[in-house]
Amino acid sequence: MPQQTTLLGFLGKRKEAPSAVDTSPCRTPESQRVNGVIGAEAEEALFASDELQQWVERVESTVEKRRRTPLSVCTALASRRSEYVSPTVDDAAEALVLSDETKRADPAARLDFQEVSPLPLQLTPATATQDHGLPTASPDALSATGATEADCWRSASPSTGSSTSAAPDAEPALAVSRSSGSRPSLPADGLSSSARTASVTRGTDEWSRQNPWTVQVRDAQQRRPGDPDYDPTTLYIPPSAEKAMTPFQRQFWAIKSRYYDVVLLFKKGKFYECYDRDADIGHRLLNLNYTGGGRVDMRCVGVPESAFNRHAAKLVDSGCCVGRVEQVETVLAARSNANKVCDRQLTRILTKGTLVSDDGDGGVLGDARYLAAIVEGHDYGLAKAAPTVDIGVCVVDVATAAVWLGVLRGDDERRSKLESFLMRVRPREVLCHTAAARTRALVRQCAAPDALVHERRLDALFEDAQHLEAIRSVSADALALRAVRGVADYLRRLRILDEVFPLRNFCSIHDPSITDSYESMEIDAAAMENLELLRNSFDGSDKGSLFAFLDRCSTAMGRRLLRRWLCHPFRQVRRIEDRLDALEDLRDWGAPANGCRRPSVPTASDFLGRLRRLPDLERLLARLHATAVDVSGAVMFDDTNRRKVHEFVATVKACAAAIEWVADLRQAVGSAPSACRSHRLAWLLSDAALPLGRAQSAIATFRDDSLFEWATGESEGVLRPASGANGALQKALTEKRRMEQGLEEHLQQVRQALGGDVPVRYYHRMRETYQIEVPATVQQVPDTFLLMSQTKHCRRYWTPEIRASLKRLADVEERIAKAEQDAGREVLLRFDAHYSTWLAVCRVVAELDALLSLVQVSFYNAEPMEMCRPVYDAPSDDEGSAVVVPRLELRTLRHPCLAMRMGVAHFVPNDLMLDGRRHPVLVLTGPNMSGKSALLRAVCIAVIMAQMGCYVPASAARFGAPADRLFTRIGARDRITRAQSTFMVEMSETAALLQHATRRSLVILDELGRGTSTFDGYAIAYAVLRHLLHRVGCLTLFATHYHMLTSEPALTGGDGGCSVALGHMTALASERDHDLTFLYRLAPGIAPRSCGLHCARMAGVAPHVLQRAGYHADAFERSVCQSGEGENEDDGEGRQ
C-alpha cells in the first residue's frame, strides 16, 4: 500500500505530472470537480493541472482568514452530498462563511470546517489507475453495501461508545475498491478512545498553551480564585490575547468573560455549541462527543436546536447555570451587512429556580420550581441571630409568572415560621440575606434537597415605578420590598424579568384568595413532617401522604391549588361551611360514578373526562407571554418555529376547551346564585369570576381565520396572516410564486434545447434545489451546464439562469420568513393582551377542579369509607368563636391513608371525645404497636380535613371552634446538620408549642420525655402536661408510658378544676405462651402494662435476654411501689 498522502501535504509541492483531469464540456475551469477521494498518485496528477492549481489557490485565499484548509472544505461538503464532487470556489467560500445552516442534523456525525490535524485519505492500489482516473461512487453501490452516508463520514470524537473500532494505532482511512464499485466509507471509529481523544485535543492543547489565561483564570479585576474578593462571574482577558482572536472567538469571549460562571450554549445555525471549559462540562455531564479537531481552535461539543431544552434541563439539574446565546442575525443579513460573524446575544440564563419545562405537566408536587428570597430584619452585620425577628419573603413561579410576597412577623429563635414556610414552598433556589449561621443552615435543610442557596445582599432598587406601585399595593413593608427587589435584580441578570413582572401577578402570602393563609390554621414544619401531609417519611414522595389521598384533580392547576388548601386550612366557620355547601351542591348536581340525581344534565364523570384532557394551561400561557415579549430577535429555524406555533395552537385550543367547559358546567349546575347554597360556588359560576361572553368572543377571534390561517397553523406550524392582512408578506409570496413559475418555464426551455423528447425534471436536495436531472444516455449538454451530482442512471446540473434565480429566491424566502415571524409575533402579542381573561379562566377551572376533587374524596371513594360533614358549635359569623368552649367529638374515626392502604374493612375505627370544660386533655397509654400514634395522627388529619372544608373519615364529627394552630411532637429523630440531638429536637418542639399554644390550639404529644433519664423525662412530662391543662386549656392528646402520671392529683382532679381523661389502647397478653394480640381499640382507663417485653419477643430478642429483663422489670416495679422512688436507669442519679 503506498504511503498515505494528503492534499494539504501537496499544497507546497506543486509537482509536475501529466494532466489527466477530466475536462468535459460541462465543466468550467472555475468549477472543476474532484470526483471521489484523493490518493497519493492521483493527488500528484491533480496538482499537475493548472486549472486545479488555480482553483486551490482561489480557495486558499478565500479561507485563509478563517484558518481553514482546502481539504477540510472538500471533506465537509462531500459529507453532505450523495456523490463526492468537489465544490466550486463559491461553494467553498459558502461552506466557510456562516456555514452553520448546512450542518448535518446529527452532531456526532458532523465534520468540522477546521482541522488542525487533517484527516488522511487514501485509495487502494487498484484505484490508482494508469490514467490517474478517479472513481465515482453511486448511490446504488452504496445501498448495496448497506452503508449510509453517516457511516461513510464521521467526526473525530472522544466517545468511548463507538459502534466499531480498529487497531489502536490505525489511522482513519477511506478505502475504495474500483472493482466492487462500492462507495468510499470511513469506519465509525477508526481510532481507539484514547487515540481519538488525543487527536481531538491536540489542537486545543495548543490553544491553551497560547492562551494561559484560560487555565490560570483571574476575574475582571485580575484577582485569583484564592482571593477573598474573587468574583467567579467574570474573567480577565489580556488585551493582546483579544487582538489575536478571530472575530468569532472575540464574540464568544466577550460574553463568556462577563458570565464566566454560566455554561454558555452558543447558537450556530441549527445547533447550540459549548466551547472551552463549557465543552468539558457538556462532555462530562451530557456525554456529548467532542467535535473532531475542535471548533475555532477550542474544544467544542454541540446539540441540535430541537434538543436544547432537554440538554439544558440536565445541566441545570446537575447544578449548572445555563446561558442561551441566540443568533439574532440571519446568514443573508450578515452578508448584506458585510459582517464577518453573525450577531449573537445572551438572551436568557436558566437556573434551578427559573427553568420552565416545555414538556407536559410541570405542576405536579415534585416538579414545581420556585425561586425564593429571604431577608432577615435585624442588622445584617450581626453574627448571631436575634431571639425574634421579622423576615421578608418573596416567592416566584416563573412558569406561571406569579409572585408572592410578605413578612413573617415575630419569628422565634428557632425560626419556626420560616421553617414552615420553606417546608410548604420547597424552593429550588434561594436568595438568602442573613448573617445568622442558624438561619442559613435552616434554609439549606428545608429547601428542596438539591436547592441552590445564594448568600447575597438584597439591596437592589427598582427602576420601574409602575412595578413598584403594583407591589406596594400588595405589601408596603420594607422587608417585603427588599426581598422583591432582590428577586427582580436577580431575574434581570437572568434576562427574564420582563417575562414575569410586566404581568403584575403580585400576590400577598397572606391573601386568602391565593394562599388561604389569612386567618388560617397554622401548621408548622414539624406537624407537616410528622403527619406526612405532603410527602411520606420513607422516600420523600407524595405516595401514601394525605395530599395523595385528597388529590383527585384532573389538571395541574387544580393540583397546585389543592396543595395550598391543604397547607392553609380555614379557621373561619363561615368559609368552612361555604366550601362544604359547595361540595354538596356539586354532589347534588351529579354523581361521578353512581348515576345522576338529575338525569337531564351530564354527569360529573363527563365533565371530569373533558377536564383531564386539558394541558397545564396556566404554564402554557406564561410561556407564550415570554415568547410574545421576547425582543432578542433570535433567529429560529423551521423545527423550532413550528414547535412554538404548535404550542400556541394547543394553547388556543385549551383556552377554548376550558371556556366551553365552564359554560357547560354553568348550564348544568345553574348559574343563578339561588341554584347554589355556596356563595363561593355561585361566584365561580358567574360573570364576576369569569366574564364568559367576553372570553368566548376573545377566543373566537383567534379561530375564525380573521387574524391568521388557522388550518395552516394547525397543520404546518406557520402563523400565516389571513389573505390581505399583511401587504409585505403577500407581495413576497407573489414574487416567490412568479420566480417558481419562471423556473418551471426554464425547465421547458432546457427540455426543448435537449431535443424536446428528453425526460428531464427537477431534483431537490437540501440547499441544492432545482437540479436538472438528465438521463445518463444523453451525452451532449451545453457547456454552461454545471454538474452538481450524478448516478449511473442520470446526471444533475445547474444552469447559470438557475444559479442566479436561486440567489434571488433565497432572498425572497428570507423576507417571507421574516414577515411570517413578525406576523406571528403580532398574533402572539394580541393573544397576550387578553392575559387577564385567560388567567381568570385558569383560576376558575383550577378552583372548580379542586372542589370536584374534594367531592370525590367526600362522597365517592374507590373503597367505600364512611365520611361525614363536620359540625361546629361556633357561630358562622366567627364573632363568638373566641368564647366557645373547645370541643372534639369523633365517632368511628379512621386514618384515611392507612385505611385505604390496608383496606377499610380491616381498619379498626375508634371513638374519641374531649370536652374543654371538664376534660380537655386525654392521657393515652397502652402497649407499643397498639395504635396510639395512629390514633393521634388520625385526630389531627380529621381536624385538618374538616377545616379544609372537606368531609371527615368518621360517622360523626363535632368541634367547638376551628383550631388556630396545630402542634405535634411525634416520633424520635435528630438533626445532625443543625447539631441537635434527639432530645434537643424534642425539647425545641415542646418549647415552641408552650410558647405559642392558645386555648383554640390542638396539641399532640407522643411519649414526651423519653429521650433522657426516667426521672428527668417524667418531670418534664408532668410539668408540660400540667401547664397545658391549667394554664392553656387547649385540647391535648398525650400518649405516654409514664403510667404514674395518671395518679398525680394535679392532673386527675384531686386539687379541683378540670382534669385529664384517661384512655388506653387495648391488647390481650397471654402469660402462658407469652403471646400478645393487639385489638387497636380505645378504651377508658389506663393500660395495666406497656408490654414492652412482649414486643421485644415479637422482634426476635434472644430468650435468655428476655428472661433476665423480665426479672429486673419485676424487681424494679416492686421497688417503685414500696418506696415511691426509683433508681435512675441511665446514670444512677436520683430525683433532686
Is 3.40.1170.10 the CATH classification of the domain at 195-350?
Answer: yes
- pLDDT greater than 60 at residue 803: yes
- Note whether 787 and 778 are within 8 A (CB): no
Q: Are 276 and 214 in contact (CB under 8 A)?
A: yes
C-alpha to C-alpha distance for 832 and 1033, rounded to whole angstroms: 55
pLDDT over threshold 80, residue 147: no
pLDDT at 434: 74
Helices 573-589, 638-669: inter-axial angle, 10-degree rounding: 90
Dist. CA 444–CA 454, nearest whole Å: 10
pLDDT at 341: 78
Of 59 and 643, which is predicted with more confidence?
A: 643
pLDDT above 90 coverage of the chain, percent: 24
* 1036 φ/ψ angles, rounded to the nearest 5 degrees: -140, 135
Instruction: Select from 871, 1022, 881, 836 the least CA-distant residue to 952.
Output: 871
pLDDT given at position 1086 = 84
pLDDT at 115 over 50: no
Q: How confident is the model at residue 1029 (pLDDT cuts 50, 70, 90)?
A: confident
DSSP 111: P
DSSP category for residue 517 = -
Higher local confidence (pLDDT), 1062 or 382: 1062
The predicted pLDDT at position 639 comes to 59
β pairing state of 956-959 and 871-872? parallel
Q: What's the mean pLDDT in 322-334?
A: 77
pLDDT(829) > 60: yes
Residue 1089: exposure state from Cβ atoms within 10 A (0-12, 13-18, ≥19): middle
Q: Which residue has the higher pLDDT, 641 or 806?
A: 806
Interacting residues of 312 by C-beta distance below 8 A, sequence separation 6+: 265, 322, 324, 350, 355
pLDDT at residue 330 in the model: 64
Q: Where in the chain is the domain with CATH 3.30.420.110?
A: 371-511
Torsions phi, psi for 433 (to 5 deg) = -115, 90
Indicate whether 120 pLDDT > 50: no
Nearest to 176 by CA among 277, 293, 84: 84
Answer yes or no: are the C-beta atoms of 354 and 398 closer than 8 Å: yes
Confidence of residue 549 (pLDDT cuts 50, 70, 90): very high
C-alpha cell at 1106: 428476655
Instruction: Render pLDDT for 876-912 as a digit per residue (tens, 0 to 9).
Output: 665 555 667 889 999 999 999 999 888 888 899 999 9
The model's confidence at residue 416, banded by pLDDT at 50, 70 and 90, is confident
pTM: 0.70
pLDDT of residue 1088: 73
Q: Please state which architecture CATH assigns to domain 871-1101.
A: 3-Layer(aba) Sandwich (3.40)
Q: Give the largest Cα separation in the chain, rounded.
A: 128
The pLDDT > 70 percentage for the chain reads 69
pLDDT tens column, 644-660:
888 888 899 999 999 99
Coil, strand or helix at 708: strand
Q: What is the mean pLDDT of the chain?
A: 74
Report the chain's C-alpha Rg in angstroms: 38
1005-1026 pLDDT, tens per residue? Answer: 988 877 777 788 888 888 899 8
Q: Poorest-confidence range of 666-670, 691-695, 793-797, 1132-1136?
A: 1132-1136
Nearest 5°: phi and psi at 98? 55, 55
**Tens digits of per-residue pLDDT, 760-771?**
999 988 778 899
Where are the domain boundaries for CATH 3.40.50.300 in the chain? 871-1101
Which one is predicted more confidently, 135 or 885? 885
pLDDT at 1126 over 70: no
Which residues, at least 6 apart from 345, have a Cβ–Cβ distance to it below 8 Å? 325, 326, 328, 632
Res. 111: pLDDT tops 50: no
**The residue type at 744:** E
Average pLDDT over residues 531-536: 89
At residue 142, the pLDDT reads: 31
- Across 254-280, average pLDDT: 92
For the chain, give every residue range classified as CATH 3.40.1170.10.
195-350
The whole-number average pLDDT for the span 1050-1077 is 75
The answer to whether 917 and 893 have CB atoms below 8 angstroms apart is: no
More confident residue, 437 or 111: 437
CA distance 619 to 839: 10
Q: Is it the case that residue 681 has pLDDT exceeding 50?
A: yes
Rounded Cα distance between 352 and 802, Å, is: 51
| Pair 291, 112: CB distance under 8 Å | yes
The CATH classification of domain 371-511, taken from the options 3.40.50.1370, 3.40.50.2300, 3.30.420.110, 3.90.550.10: 3.30.420.110
Given pLDDT bands bounded at 50, 70 and 90, which one contains residue 978? low
Task: Reply yes or no on whether the pLDDT at 268 is more than 50.
Answer: yes
Residue 952 is given by DSSP the state: B
Which pLDDT does position 886 carry in this prediction?
A: 87
Nearest CA to 189 among 337, 292, 320? 292
Tell me which range, 81-90, 219-228, 499-508, 966-975, is most confidently predicted by mean pLDDT: 219-228
Instruction: Identify whether the C-beta of residue 457 lies closer than 8 Å to the C-beta of residue 314.
Output: no
Phi, psi of 608 (to 5 degrees): -65, -35
Q: Are 308 and 272 in contact (CB under 8 A)?
A: yes
